Amino acid sequence: MRRSPTGARERDLAASLRDTKPGDVLVLWLRTQDVARLPAPPRGVATVFLSGQMAGLEQAPLAPAWRQLTQMTYPYDLPERRRVRLDFPLGWFRIREIPVVAEQVQVDTYLVCGLVSDTLNHMVDTFVRDYLVERMEGMLEHRVVTGYYPRLALAPGQRFASKGGFLVRFAAPEGTRIEAESEWLVP
C-alpha cells in the first residue's frame, strides 16, 4: 500500500492508487479538496471506505464513479432521523434572530450550554468541579434534546459523549442524500 501525503496533488493521488489490484479494498483518509481531485477509480476495486468527517460528510465532492463503490463513516445520526431533535435548538436561534452559519457547531454549543445550565440548577449552592462533572455524567443520558447524536452518555473518566457512527453510502450519483449501510456502530 502506498501512502500519499496530505494535500497531495492529483498525480500523487493517481500514483497512490496505481498499485491496487482487483478485489482490493481502499480506505481513504482524504480532506474535501483531495476527494474532489480523485482520478477515476481503479479497475476491480471492490469497496472503498471514506472518512466522512474529513471528506465533508454528505457534502463530500465525490464523483459519481466513486459513489457507487464508497461507504463513508458518518459519526452523527442520519439527517432524516435527527430532524426532530434539531427543531428546538434551531427554533431557539430563529426566535432570537441568531443566524445559523455552522449548524452542527451551533447546535452542539446549544446542547452543552443547556446541559451545563440544567446541571447548575440542580447543584443549588454546591459549586465543586468534581460534583459538576459527576452531575453532568448522570444527567446527559436522560436528555431529550441530543442534537446530532442518537445516543449520548458519559461514564466516569470518559470525555466523549458520542462514540459511534453509521456506515453510509450516497443514494444517487448526484446530490447529498445518504442511506445507512449499517446500524449505529460503537467501537
The three cell numbers of residue 173 are 450519483
Query: What pLDDT score was predicted for residue 178?
Result: 95
pLDDT band at 99 (very low <50, low <70, confident <90, very high): very high
This prediction has a pTM of 0.79
Q: For 3-34, write each residue's pLDDT tens digit.
A: 555 554 556 677 778 778 888 888 999 999 99
Domain residue limits, the chain = 10-75+164-180, 81-140
The three cell numbers of residue 86 are 434539531
CA-based radius of gyration for the chain: 20
- The answer to whether 42 and 48 have CB atoms below 8 angstroms apart is no
